[in-house]
Structure formats: structure tokens, C-alpha cells
Structure 1
């Protein structure tokens, strides 16, 4: 059986996808104790480490065939607005160098590194690629909309495939039918409030009015942020990107509510039996940071098939 380790494992999307692809995840690490706690709950047979991977003792990490890594994306993500790319995020961006250290010590046959596509705009990205190549790896970046892999969410992410091969391994990824947001939304659950109530922002009321004109009584819309503009989204298409904070609201007639944590996890393609915190904000944070398990599974399957 193919074995793997999962660096920056978070809630375990990559590990869950790997397991679904028939890969045994031997070891997983994250610097955040809460993430390690829930990753361990869902992956009890995996060895866990809670540490800053800059200080990892790679000789204590099991040998493996496949390295999976999702280095911190906050320093690259456009969600950071004007702070994106600023020196204040140098520490988070530098987490990518831990991948190089792990590759140097263990020399697995392949690795898959996931991040936002702006990772390639990092000033040190060419140096990072050169370091990986110096270790004998070919570098094949893939920009993927996870909706194309069957995740019910438009989420554009970068999957960099690193292989000890003669040429870069460009994957033949499946083109799945898009899964609508309606597949996981529950209009009979949750805490709804009247749309017309004191204190409701005029911008929200405008979005509701515009959304009704386009989509009828039931639709999704951004409550915070600017995704989907001022019109909302049809529930018969994938939802927009799930972030680490509450963003999406459901409208049903004259009432509305925020997306629940369970719905956010489903939008990420986590199964309904995934163990998670009771705390809504904590779960949303973990979900927004995760690799969608189904996307991870499809990418890993393509790597194994092509290897």
C-alpha cells in the first residue's frame, strides 16, 4: 500500500482524500493543538505531531512514498487585501521551506503541495522551485477549480505535483459534473431571522432584492465580503469559496440565515460523520483552511495512476 505523511494537516482534508484514494497516512502534523486534536479524532491510526514544522526532526518521521503539504496560504491569499504580500506575512510564507527540508531528508517518490494560486507570485517562489529541483524533483503546477473535481464549491487552488521523474508529471484530472449547492443546503434547519428587521444594512437589503429578481425566493448570497457581487447565487450551481469566516447567507422568502458549520463542511466535501468541534466559529475556521477531501482524493488518484 502507498504510504504518505500530511504536513500542515489542519482538519484533515488531504488525509481524508488520501485514505479514500487507498493511501495509508502514517504521520500528520500541525502547529495548532485544536487542529491536531480533531485530525486525530478522525484519523486515529495516524501518528500525530503538534509542532512548528520549521523545527521538525525529520529522522523521527516515518519513511513514506508520498508527501502531502498545505503550507500556510495567508501570506499569499488575495483575501488578505492590501496586506497580501506584505513583509508581515514572511513567517507564514516561509512554512513552504519545511517541505524542502522534508524532501531532502526522506526523498519520497512524489509530493503534492496545495496552496492558493497566488503562491506562484511569491518573490521567493523561483528559489523554492530551484531548491526542489536541486533535490531531483520535477515541478508540475496545476491550477484547479475544485468544482471540476466534483466538490460542490467553486474553489480555485494550486496543486503542485513534485516527482522524481524525467519530466514534469502533468495530470489527467477528471472533469466531473458540477454539484449544486442545493445538494447540501437544508432549508428546514437553522436559525432564521426576518430580512426586514431594524438594523439590517441597506447593502444586504439591496442584495436580497436583486437576488429575488434573478433567482426567486431561494438563493445564496454573500453577507460579508464581495463574492457574487450584489446579486447572490443560484442554488443550482456550486457555492462560492468557503472561507475561514462566516460569509454566505441563505435566503428563503422573507427570512434568512447564515450558512451552518455542517453545511460548510459538506460544501468542502467532508462527510456528515466527520468529527468536529461544537463551536461554530472554530469549525468554520478549520473548514475554510482545509483541502476539500474529494479534490485531494482525485489529485492523489491521478498521481498514483500516472506514476
Structure 2
């Protein structure tokens, strides 16, 4: 089965599809840096760096599966999803590329990934009607990625669009939860003493509360309104596009390494990435966990 990947980014969708035995024949993104690293990891895929609002779909290879992860910032409640905000409105408009691509090629399936708030978008009814007019039945799934074997508490929406009379509701198996400890290496990283000059009072309070709940080794969100820690033997919280999670180990602490962020997202250990820590964290946090994508696709294939 051949697939194309719109908004390919760092390659979470493509990597997951490849794990499921799918060939990625074409991938697009508007950011040159993302295209560079997607190309490095998927050298047999044709790549284009372009704003897909201007795409010529006649130049795109034929395919059976359309994979799409439109920009989510305009929908996410953490970003405010403000109407009449030019940045958010432009972000939400990327979803129409799905309709445009599907209209030209009419692949058997399309899988659209986004945050659950996508379903509350005021134009979602119009978007879904447009897809239905092209002959697709839509089945939205709200997925807790930890249930698919991702060591992360990440909730996402996957819409399966199938050229069938009835929507395809997936029978997703539930996998054993993977702990954060499964990808954390205590022998690496830049550790610092917790009790040092300049440490924020709020950080020290989180550490104190975390110790009371979990002992001397646990995870802690370094930003936000959290007041304590998180059990290292559970999946980590959502990996974001910036450093967020700290590891507490006795009297020392550090942020997750770039490699640990990659593993929390379930990218393969040999996946090529930038040497720049911040860029890697940004790209990984903005991606789709490959293992989740792989298991979504396998469920689709098993029901066809």
C-alpha cells in the first residue's frame, strides 16, 4: 500500500506508517528544516517544501492512503484557539488541504490526526460535509496514546475517512502501559543540585511535594501550575515542543535529554535528528508518536 504524508514535519506519521508496512511515496512540509530531517530518515520518499494551499495535486504520485496532521495550534485550548486571530485562523485553514488532496486523488483511505478540539472547530461540520461529498465516511476516534503502547499520557484525535457506506470504527487493542522509566537513562544528561542558589521557590515546593508522594526519584513538570510530581513508573505526561519535564533523583535534577524526548515519542533509537537540543525537542514534541500511528494503521488494514 502506498501513502502520502501532508504536513510531514519530523516524520511521526511516516515512520509509523512504515512500521505498519506502508510505503511513503511523497511527503510535504512548508518548513525547510523539517523537510531536511524527514528526507534524511525517509530517503526513498519524494519530498516537496511548499505551502500546501498552493499545491498542484496533479504532480503528486497516486496513493491508497492519505496521512494528514494539520496544524493543531489553532484548535488547541492551550493555545487559546482565538477566532479572528490571523495566526490561529491560518492554522485552522490547513485542514482544507485534506479536502483538496482527496478531491483530486480519491484514495481509499485518509487518516487525519489532530487534538480532540478539532471536532469543536466551528467549521468542522462544513469540513466533514465536504469529505462526505467526496464519498468518504468519517469515524473520529479519541485515543489515549498510552493505551497503544506509547510511554506518554497524550490524548489525540484520529479521524478515519474511508470510501465505504458506513464509517469504520476501529477495534483498537489496549496495550500494557509503558513507564517513563523505560526510556530514562540516569547516567546521562546535565545534572544540577536541587538546593542551589537561584532555584525558584515554586520549583523547590514541587520537589518537596513530589518527594512526599513518590520518594527520591520521580518526574516533575518544570513549568505550569502543577504542585507536585509524577510517578516515574507511569507514562510521562504529554511531551511538548519545549523542555517541560524534569527528573528528580535524590539531591539532583535535570531536564529530559533530546534523546529521551525522542524515545518518549517512540521514534526509533537510530532515527536521525538535529544536534541542536531545542530544535529536536520542538520537532519531536510537534510530531505524532510513530507507534500510535502504526497501530492505528494496522487496525484499519485488519478491518478491510
Q: TM-score range by the shorter chain?
A: over 0.9
Residue by residue over 1:148-183, the C-alpha shift from the partner in whole angstroms, topping out at 9 and shown as x without a partner, is 000000100000000000100000111000000000
Asked whether 1:260 is paired with 2:257, we answer yes
Residues 51-95 of structure 1: CA deviation (Å, up to 9, x unaligned): 001111100000100000000000011221xx3233221001000
Report what 2:219 is aligned to.
220
CA contact (8 A) 1:8 1:70 kept: yes
Distance in 1 separating the partners of 2:224 and 2:17: 32
1:283 maps to what in 2?
Answer: 280
Cα distance between partner residues in 2 of 1:78 and 1:215 = 30
Matched position secondary structure for 1:29: strand
Tell me what 1:272 maps to: 269
How many residues align structurally? 302
Is the counterpart of residue 41 in structure 1 residue 43 in structure 2? no
Structure 2 spans left out of the alignment, 5+ residues? none
Could you tell me whether the CA contact under 8 Å between 1:85 and 1:122 is conserved in 2? no
1:194 aligns with 2:193: yes
Relative to the length of structure 1, the TM-score reads: 0.97
Please report the TM-score for the alignment, with normalisation by the length of structure 2. 0.98
Alignment of 1:123-202 (within 5 A): 123-202=122-201
2:10 corresponds to: 11
2: CA distance, partners of 1:121 / 1:198? 46
Q: Secondary structure of the residue that 1:87 maps to in structure 2?
A: coil
**For residues 219 and 269 of structure 1, what CA distance do their matches in structure 2 show?**
21
Distance 1:78 1:219 in 2: 27
Q: For 2:147 and 2:303, locate their aligned partners in 1 and report how far apart those are by CA, in whole Å.
A: 19
Distance 2:159 2:81 in 1: 21
Deviations for 1:84-107, whole angstroms, at most 9, x for unmatched residues?
233221001000000000000000
In structure 1, the partner of 2:56 is 57
C-alpha distance in structure 2 between counterparts of 1:209 and 1:298, whole Å: 39
